[in-house]
Amino acid sequence: MAQKASKTLAARNSSVLVRSHLIAFILHALYLILHFTFNRPRALKPYCLLAVPTLVIEFYLDRIGRPTYAADGSLRSPGEDLGAAGLTEYMWDVLYWTWGCIGAVCVFGDRAWWLWVVVPLYSVWLAYSTFTGVRSGLTGFGGAGDAGEAMGAESKRQKKMEKRGARGVAYR
């Protein structure tokens, strides 16, 4: 029972990687079969432009998440958690969205590649929301925002205390 968490993480990472490689293989093979069956000459350029980066992302996720074993079969490293928040989560989002775009292109045609525009827009929205979140967090420190507005705001408790005639809190 030693290293149960590591063994669980290694098993989960292995199953996630096998599943993602299988899905990617099926989608890419289906697209290429349809491409060469119907002989669409210009359709390979957007595929290469938009699918190759996701293959790089998939290779990177495999590299960091693949468990390594020693020669005797014992677990040496379970790999990084592929369900972690942050950049890993964003990479999975890009991967899933591209798979959806490839599926849409297979069903609806080459104009479905325009769905991939959502990925950069999503990145811009994430950057903006992160910036505004940091900015609002720094309001009380005099960094960003209106300092007079932040200092002038009173809580309900402070208003009640002033109504009763209390002058404030005395610190010793």
What residues contact 76, with CB distance under 8 A and at least 6 apart? 68, 69, 70
- Please tell me the predicted confidence (pLDDT) of residue 148: 46
Gap between the Cα atoms of 127 and 133, Å rounded: 10
pLDDT in tens, 1-12: 467 888 888 889
| Residue type for position 156 | K
Residue 105 burial (CB count, 10 A): 26
- Please tell me the predicted confidence (pLDDT) of residue 10: 87
164 burial (CB, 10 Å; 0-12 / 13-18 / 19+) is: exposed
Gap between the Cα atoms of 152 and 116, Å rounded: 46
- Please tell me the predicted confidence (pLDDT) of residue 144: 47
- Please tell me the predicted confidence (pLDDT) of residue 130: 81
- Please tell me the predicted confidence (pLDDT) of residue 115: 87
Q: CA-based Rg of the chain, rounded to a whole angstrom?
A: 26
Beta carbons of 21 and 62 less than 8 angstroms apart = yes
pLDDT in tens, 97-122: 899 989 998 888 888 888 888 888 88
86 burial (CB, 10 Å; 0-12 / 13-18 / 19+) is: exposed
- Please tell me the predicted confidence (pLDDT) of residue 170: 58
As beta bridge partners, residue 69 has: 75
- Please tell me the predicted confidence (pLDDT) of residue 15: 93
Residue ranges for the chain with pLDDT beneath 50: 1, 143-145, 147-148
